[in-house]
Chain A
């Protein structure tokens, strides 16, 4: 075992070089680093938000609300479909995710089912549609969304939200935020260096759902006051200051999804800030048709369930572009245009978790971590050298190599170093020392049992290996568990611990072996220095 095989020496040399090369960028100032040629590794340790400062936001996509909205829309679709087909019905209502309707004329039930089946859109799997239509007793028809469709909807909503958030944040100019999906319906946003998340939240939190809806002019002021609306009409609060609320047709003429562009502009006549927009082809057509049919009537521009303005249609708007007037300042108009450009969020996002570490505090944490790491390592060096003399020096050298390797691997793999990770690093070093202690104690036992120094050292390594492996496997188990169940800093801790298990095994066993092997060759000792 102690024989200095060539592959061991090569491996040790290579690993130490690897450690130094990949650790070095962390110690050099950025300027020197930039001046180095391109092939030199320049990746520094990827510090967690708790160390470099920044914001962590966890949002949950409100899929329940999304489902409700889809159901509400489907109720309207059912109403329109049956009316268009001239089928009389009653009792159209939605309860617990099931839409029920009763057809007046028994002979028309089948026709109604055929019409309603057309409402579904094909599923991604290609089999069936997302809406199930079933007939029940008493001329009733029930419509439900298939579970697959609901899941796919939620999943699509999360993906869409991530895209939208990315576009919104990009336009803010925040430095490289990471936006990731977590679980089924959560989105994590990590913005390093951003220690004031309010700006982020201001643009992320808005749904920016824009619709154009016709004002229901048949609603009387009495009905408005009592809040009783005819079917298909809703009361929407107003943000324009002219009326407290408007009665609007539920069905939107056009929605913000069909926008292709939005810009902050100034109104040609009044000179006030407005948002000008442009529709895509189908949006232009819908908007053109609706305005042509409803000249003299009012339509409302609704943003996040609030009426921004409700102008009267003077002429048909056929070109597909128009402008939103309202009580805008230049800032609010450009913010709105940004939100419209980046698209609406498909569902509301609820903030579930927010953590922020100031950059200053992060720097303090790095300093405290570095100091405690240095003190911990120094204490271990002194202790192990006091305990084992020359062999202690070997163990200390192995420890240095261990730190280099861990930092090197973490820089190379861009794993995140967190504050608890530093504590994990210290514990790793302590356990690495343990491996050497186990080996050396074994050697002493074997030497005491009368073996020659060479044989004692050799057997020491051989026998200690079993215990060391057992001990490290249990460490690895807990690291694995922490990694799969922990979040954020705990994950970082587990990762550091896991890397540490492997580097410790390597440095504590192989590197000290090579060093002791060399020493045996050079000194030809008659007695083990630790015996």
Chain B
């Protein structure tokens, strides 16, 4: 039977020395984490009205909207903290503002709507979205609570299934993924909404998947090769899982790629986060979660394996 092209394309057995590059990867990750932190604390996340509260008005026109002009008009209505941005196509835009304290948000939204439409003949605005400050605070808190609890439960599960070193490695790697994902959302100023929390949880889920599946192989190999140095077993396990990682990662990216292009502006932040998360989750499995296990060593059979210093090659 003739071999299929892709089977030949992806090498059957590889011998990459992943762990050797772990220190380099660690520095690389550290730089990215610092960068994410800087962006996070200087410009912050572009919080959507789910978390910030306020009013969002969508404007649609049969022709292209002059965003600068719209921004000027929207500001002249006296609304607070006005933001105007393009939304999907040139013919639509999103206007967001915070309601004046003590004034009914709906009444104000309708006033601003009327004032803007008066300046732009042909413009239509569907009903506004209004999120009260109370609800938005609860949503944000709930979102972070969900993230925290999900992480704790997964930590517990991995601890139960493997050893605590694995659990710590996985959780550090997943934190790394979360920080970098939030970082890129902050750098690119992609809107962070309730669905972004869902995306983030999915990223965590996928990233954990990657880790668990490699851990599984590692656990098996630890039993199989009792005397081989830990770092070699880690390399071996990663190599053995490589073709699977490539195939699964590519199918996931292919599947989401279609949605990123054709899903429209509403779905874009969600899918972008997931695509980025899949890439970063794969990277952190290989270069962070598993090499981290080396720092503490693992239990093999009855005796504790000795911790190995990172960076010192045990094999020529």
Per the CB 8 Å criterion, the residue count for chain A at the interface is 81
Is B129's beta carbon under 8 Å from chain A? yes
Give the one of A374, A386, A427, A489 with max B CB within 10 A.
A427
**Residue interface bits B130-149, CB-to-A below 8 A is 1, else 0:** 11101100010011011001
Distance (whole angstroms) from the CB of A37 to the closest CB of chain B: 38
Q: Which single member of A352, A356, A358 contacts B134 (CB below 8 Å)?
A: A352
B104-148 contacts to A, CB under 8 A, are: 105-106, 126-132, 134-135, 139, 142-143, 145-146
Q: Are B267 and A372 in contact (CB under 8 A)?
A: yes
Q: Are B146 and A477 in contact (CB under 8 A)?
A: no
Q: Are A467 and B212 in contact (CB under 8 A)?
A: yes
Q: Are B264 and A486 in contact (CB under 8 A)?
A: no
A-B contact count (CB 8 A): 228
Q: Which single member of A60, A351, A369, A497 contacts B263 (CB below 8 Å)?
A: A369
Q: Are B126 and A433 in contact (CB under 8 A)?
A: no
A470-521 contacts to B, CB under 8 A, are: 470-471, 473-475, 477-479, 481-482, 484-490, 493-494, 497
Q: Are A197 and B127 in contact (CB under 8 A)?
A: yes
| Chain B residues whose C-beta falls within 8 Å of the C-beta of A490 in the assembled complex | 194-195, 197-198
Q: Are B126 and A356 in contact (CB under 8 A)?
A: yes
Q: Which single member of A361, A379, A433 contacts B258 (CB below 8 Å)?
A: A379
CA distance A354 to B126 in the complex (A): 12
Is B262's beta carbon under 8 Å from chain A? yes
Q: Are A195 and B208 in contact (CB under 8 A)?
A: no
Which residue of chain B has its CB nearest to the CB of A370?
Answer: B262
CA distance A372 to B146 in the complex (A): 28
Q: Which single member of B195, B248, B254 contacts A489 (CB below 8 Å)?
A: B195
Distance (whole angstroms) from the CB of B184 to the closest CB of chain A: 18
Is B257's beta carbon under 8 Å from chain A? yes
Which residue of chain A has its CB nearest to the CB of B5?
Answer: A386
Q: Are B274 and A427 in contact (CB under 8 A)?
A: yes
CA distance A354 to B248 in the complex (A): 40
CA distance A58 to B126 in the complex (A): 18
B204-228 contacts to A, CB under 8 A, are: 204-206, 208-209, 212-213, 216-217
| Chain A residues whose C-beta falls within 8 Å of the C-beta of B194 in the assembled complex | 486-490
| Chain A residues whose C-beta falls within 8 Å of the C-beta of B12 in the assembled complex | 444, 448
Is B188's beta carbon under 8 Å from chain A? no
Q: Are B256 and A427 in contact (CB under 8 A)?
A: yes
CA distance A377 to B204 in the complex (A): 23
B227-284 contacts to A, CB under 8 A, are: 240-241, 243-244, 247-248, 250-252, 254-259, 261-264, 266-267, 270-271, 274
Is A208's beta carbon under 8 Å from chain B? no
| Chain B residues whose C-beta falls within 8 Å of the C-beta of A364 in the assembled complex | 264
Given A387-B4, A445-B240, A477-B157, do A427 and B206 touch, yes or no (CB 8 Å)? yes
Is A371's beta carbon under 8 Å from chain B? yes
Q: Are B143 and A485 in contact (CB under 8 A)?
A: yes
| Chain A residues whose C-beta falls within 8 Å of the C-beta of B27 in the assembled complex | none
Please classify the interface of chain A as helix (H, G, I), strand (E, B), loop, or mixed, using the class held by over half of its residues: helix
CA distance A486 to B209 in the complex (A): 22
CA distance A63 to B271 in the complex (A): 41
| Chain A residues whose C-beta falls within 8 Å of the C-beta of B106 in the assembled complex | 201, 351, 354
Which residue of chain A has its CB nearest to the CB of B243?
Answer: A441
Given A375-B262, A485-B142, A486-B197, do A423 and B267 touch, yes or no (CB 8 Å)? yes
Which residue of chain B has its CB nearest to the CB of A474?
Answer: B208
Distance (whole angstroms) from the CB of B204 to the closest CB of chain A: 6
A111-149 contacts to B, CB under 8 A, are: none
Is A17's beta carbon under 8 Å from chain B? no
Is A156's beta carbon under 8 Å from chain B? no
Q: Are A494 and B251 in contact (CB under 8 A)?
A: no
Q: Are A482 and B146 in contact (CB under 8 A)?
A: yes
Q: Which single member of A201, A368, A376, A470 contacts B216 (CB below 8 Å)?
A: A470
Is B150's beta carbon under 8 Å from chain A? yes
| Chain B residues whose C-beta falls within 8 Å of the C-beta of A493 in the assembled complex | 195, 198
Distance (whole angstroms) from the CB of B198 to the closest CB of chain A: 5
A337-387 contacts to B, CB under 8 A, are: 350-356, 358, 361, 364-365, 368-369, 371-380, 383-384, 386-387
CA distance A409 to B54 in the complex (A): 37
Q: Are A437 and B247 in contact (CB under 8 A)?
A: yes
Give the one of A365, A438, A481, A527 with max B CB within 10 A.
A481
Is A434's beta carbon under 8 Å from chain B? yes
Is B300's beta carbon under 8 Å from chain A? no
Q: Are B255 and A377 in contact (CB under 8 A)?
A: yes
Extra contacts, 6 of them, besides A196-B127, A352-B131, A356-B127 (Cβ < 8 A), are A350-B132, A351-B105, A387-B6, A426-B256, A430-B252, A441-B244
Q: Which residues of B contact A (CB under 8 A)?
A: 1, 4-7, 10, 12, 105-106, 126-132, 134-135, 139, 142-143, 145-146, 149-150, 153-154, 157, 161, 194-195, 197-199, 201-202, 204-206, 208-209, 212-213, 216-217, 240-241, 243-244, 247-248, 250-252, 254-259, 261-264, 266-267, 270-271, 274
Chosen A-B contacts, 20 in total, with CB atoms closer than 8 Å, are: A197-B127, A354-B128, A356-B126, A364-B264, A372-B267, A376-B256, A383-B251, A384-B247, A384-B251, A387-B247, A388-B4, A422-B267, A437-B244, A437-B248, A470-B212, A478-B202, A478-B208, A479-B205, A486-B194, A487-B194
Which 4 A-B pairs rank lowest in CB-CB distance, beginning with the nearest? Answer: A375-B258, A376-B255, A485-B146, A372-B259
